[in-house]
Structure 1
Amino acid sequence: MTESEQLLAQQAAVGPHRIAQAEVARNIRDLPALPTIVLELIRTFDQPDVDVARLAETISHDQALAARTLRVANSSFYGLASKVKTINQAIMVLGFDTVRSLVAAGAIVHALPGGGAHLDLALFWRHSMATAVCARNIARRTRLNQDYAFLSGLLHDIGRLVLATRFPQQYAAAMAWRDQQDAWQVDAEQQVLGIDHQQVGLMLAETWKFPALIQRAIGNHHAPALDDLGDVPSIVHVANAIVHALDLGGEADALVPPVSGEAWASLRLDCEMLRAVFRETGEQYEEACSILSA
């Protein structure tokens, strides 16, 4: 078979698996809605004045949400000296921003669909949590918002979850092509599906009305735009690559995605900072996974 014939055969093999954006949008609309309190919390991310007492009371009245939040607040991830028994105590000890992102993260994880035959859900969330922890550690050293970084890191790959659960056959074809060609994930998705998990994740983030900063972090986490430099999207981009390089998620044969030189330079991470990020991420990763089971 000539080279041109091989190319035509490849194109014929992937052609039937193309996914239209309208089809993705329709499937996203069919996903369960986020709890009202989570939407309310997300809307406060960009608000300077928030009625903390009222939101704390609202969280407390949702028994499942409050119980999950307290279990995580009392986990070794936060290392509190004494047990927290109420949402108000959690806010006093951890701060409202941390509790807000904690409540939102836990509720979103439980609202999203389970894994499909071609996506190991446990490995997926472990990689996501590792990226969240790494992003928070980078944010602390670059003096950027740690809670934005944590939530963005946790949700950066949600587009993969949508593709794997809503389009299982097409997603399987993309993964098979990725493995056959030893290609990057996003390249395989674009080649086979005509859309990648960044775009799908961005569509979900827009539908759920996430803050613009989190939308950009999800939608650009493999290729930060100019406006993303020196900000949370660049942090998530770098954190994702670090976690793949450290193999914290345990994904078999996962390639380390390339890092944008501009994004890397914009964060101004020196060797000492990087060593600290590597060490802290490795130390905190397993404990942070308690959020997933809370």
Structure 2
Amino acid sequence: MAGQIQAGAPAAVTGANTLARVEVARNILDLPALPTIVLELMSSFDDPDVDIGRLADAISHDQALTARTLRVANSSFYGLSAKVKTINQAIMMLGFDTVRTLVAAGAIVNVLPAGTGTQRELSQFWRHSMATAVCARNVARRTRLNPEQAFLGGLLHDIGRLVLATRFPRQYGAALAWRDEHDAWQVDAEQQVLGMTHQQVGLMLAEAWRFPPQLLRAIGFHHAPAVDDLGDLASIVHVANAIVHALDLGDADALVPALSGEAWASLRLEGDMLRAIFRETEAQYEEACLILH
């Protein structure tokens, strides 16, 4: 059944396109490191005593981070009544949780490789990622999870696919061809052809970048949340990913991934609540994608 491959599982096949973990790890180490302030911001999701003033000051001293954050904060997606010109103004208008997510997401997206994929392929990747982010935030609002952390988890859940597509385009292309030929789920095709999945590769990257534990699991297990992940961020991203595939938002080429009944039940999404999530995600999707430009 698709989605049951666990991060770190041994390769199941051998062949010309099989990837060795050491080769993938070497390519991940070649990627630029994340700014220290971004690592601090991501760790602060679990810190109830976070020093907002100090972090805001640190963000403001990085001109590139500040410029990207203010551009997104002033986009139509957030619908502010007045233009914000400083990080402190953005925090006052949007709240620290939202600004923290904008800074972290902008920095990570900027560092991730653009690679050799076509513009259409890259656009499709990020549009699916944004759809999952929006849906995950809408799901999290109905649970005890932080909606902004859910947004970040949804945005980054497929970073392993981006690493595969840009660092190993020939091998990844073979996996996609096998997927289409056999009408298979994405993770099954990757395991069959590459000997590892984008979940595993994403987890390796997230570990190298020292992401916090919940985000690690959301990236590494978004197709197969473990028992410990039920009702948690990995379950939210897992369900959001399935929903946006079902709604045909962002990635029309892939099948709807297998849905874990346990993860679904743990979030208690029923009736009007679920219909509201569908409506909100579809309504917010296009404006959210403007952030990517």
TM-score, normalisation: structure 2: 0.92
Alpha carbons 1:56, 1:87 under 8 Å: kept: yes
Aligned partner of residue 80 in structure 2, secondary structure: coil
Cα distance, 1:117 vs structure 2: 3.4
CA distance in 1, matches of 2:291, 2:34: 18
Amino acid aligned to 1:121: L
Q: Which residue of 1 aligns with 2:42?
A: 42
* Mean Cα deviation higher: 239-248 or 57-66: 57-66
- Give a deviation string over 1:13-40, Cα, whole Å, max 9, x none: 9711111111111110001111222122
Give CA deviations for 1:95-134 in whole Å, capped at 9, x if unaligned.
1111111100011111100143378101100000000000
Q: How far apart are the structure 1 equivalents of 2:69 and 2:137?
A: 19
User: Is this contact kept in 2: 1:106–1:291, CA < 8 A?
Assistant: no
SS at structure 2 position matched to 1:256: coil
* Runs of 4+ deviating beyond 4 Å: none
Instruction: State the AA in 2 paired with 1:20.
Output: A
Contact 1:170 1:193 (C-alpha < 8 Å) held by counterparts? yes
8 Å contact kept, 2:38–2:104: yes
Partner of 2:226: 225
The amino acid that maps onto 2:182 is: Q
> Which shifted more, 141-150 or 193-202?
141-150
Alignment of 1:244-283 (within 5 A): 244-249=245-250, 251-283=251-283
Alignment of 1:1-294 (within 5 A): 15-117=15-117, 120-249=121-250, 251-293=251-293
Deviations 1:220-252 (A, max 9, x none): 111110011011110100100110111110x34
- Backbone CA RMSD of aligned residues: 1.5
Unaligned runs of 5+ in 2: 1-12
Distance in 1, Cα, partners of 2:245 & 2:122:
17
Summarize the Cα distance change of 1:272–1:176 in structure 2 as closer, same or farther, 3 Å threshold: same
One-letter amino acid of the counterpart of residue 62, structure 1: D
| Structure showing greater relative contact order (alpha-carbon pairs closer than 8 Å, 6 or more residues apart) | 2
Q: Give the helix-richer structure, 1 or 2.
A: 1
Q: Contact 2:14–2:195 (CA<8 Å) still a contact in 1?
A: no
Q: Count the aligned residue pairs.
A: 280
Query: What is the distance in 1 between the residues matched to 2:262 and 2:254?
Result: 24
Task: Please tell me the residue identity of whatever aligns with 1:111.
Answer: V
1:152–1:236: 8 Å Cα contact kept in structure 2?
A: yes
Measured against aligned partners, the alpha-carbon deviations of 1:62-86 in whole angstroms (never above 9, x if no partner) come to 1121111111111121122222121
Q: 2:7 — aligned with what?
A: none
TM-score by length of 1: 0.92
Separation (CA, whole Å) in 1 of partners of 2:47 and 2:143:
22
**Seq. identity, %:** 77
Q: Which runs of 5+ in 1 are unaligned?
A: 1-12
Amino acid at match of 1:45: F
Q: Distance in 2 between matches of 1:72 and 1:96?
A: 14
Counterpart Cα distance in 1 of 2:198 and 2:123: 18
Which is higher, the Rg of structure 1 or of structure 2?
1
Distance in 2, Cα, partners of 1:36 & 1:83: 28
- Measure how far apart 1:197 and its partner are: 0.1
Distance (whole Å) between structure 1 residues aligned to residue 283 and residue 111 of structure 2: 28
Output the CA distance in 1 between the equivalents of 2:253 and 2:157: 20
